[in-house]
Amino acid sequence: MASGGLQMLGFILAFIGWIGIVVSTAMPQWKISSYAGDNIVTAQAIYEGLWMSCVMQSTGQMQCKVYDSLLKLEGFLQATRALMVASILLGLIGTFVAMIGMKCMKCLENDEPKKVLMALIGGIIFLVSGFAALVATSWYGNRVARDFFNPYTPVNTRYEFGQALFVGWAAASLAILGGAFLSCSCPRRETSYPPSRPYPKSAPSGGKDYV
């Protein structure tokens, strides 16, 4: 069974990763306007996220607009939304499940195998949550890179990676690492040996007396 310190470290890393996934999902800077061209106007910066698009003026003023229609969004954006929301929900479930299995908690303290099993299940849920966020952010980043290097994409409409992608990648890595540490709580199987049988007592070897 994993030590209490390793279990606590895994839970902290996974929880911080889950918080980062929530922050990344809410951030509008999933992709930002690129300044690769020579005639790009740098007086404003355009951000696009999963839920809204924003324009940042050179004065520091930001104006955001939520996407009007869900059905008009591109398929990859809808899939990214679904994966990130699923990652958040799984991380929330994993938090409660892993807390029950923590050694420092009083829940199930009289049933050690079930307590260890809860920590293991919580770690697996965190692993799935982290992989879902990693797939979503990597898929979105790949789409941004493909559009950037596409020669048919106008220079004025090219985008680069936003801060939310880097936050999402780091958060997904922490969730996966923390889930892996929690999964080390898997109980070891004890080898059972058959009970030893007592040897029969041997009869006394003394000879008979003859008259």
pLDDT band at residue 69, thresholds of 50, 70 and 90?
confident
Kindly report the backbone phi and psi dihedral angles of residue 44, in degrees, each rounded to the nearest multiple of 5, phi listed first.
Answer: -145, 155
Residue 191's pLDDT is 44
Single pTM value for the model: 0.80
CATH number of the domain enclosing 40: 1.20.140.150
Interatomic CA distance for residues 12 and 95, integer angstroms = 10
- Let me know if residue 188 belongs to a domain: no
- Let me know if residue 192 belongs to a domain: no
Interatomic CA distance for residues 175 and 177, integer angstroms = 6
Q: Do residues 144 and 31 lie in contact, with contact meaning Cβ atoms separated by under 8 Å? A: yes
pLDDT in tens, 87-146: 999 999 999 999 887 776 666 666 667 878 888 899 999 999 999 999 999 999 999 999
- Print the domain residue range for 179: 4-183
pLDDT in tens, 21-48: 999 999 999 999 877 655 455 667 888 9
- Let me know if residue 34 belongs to a domain: yes
Interatomic CA distance for residues 165 and 49, integer angstroms = 10
- Let me know if residue 177 belongs to a domain: yes
Mean pLDDT of the chain: 82
Quote the number of domains for the chain. Answer: 1
pLDDT band at residue 158, thresholds of 50, 70 and 90?
confident
- Let me know if residue 201 belongs to a domain: no
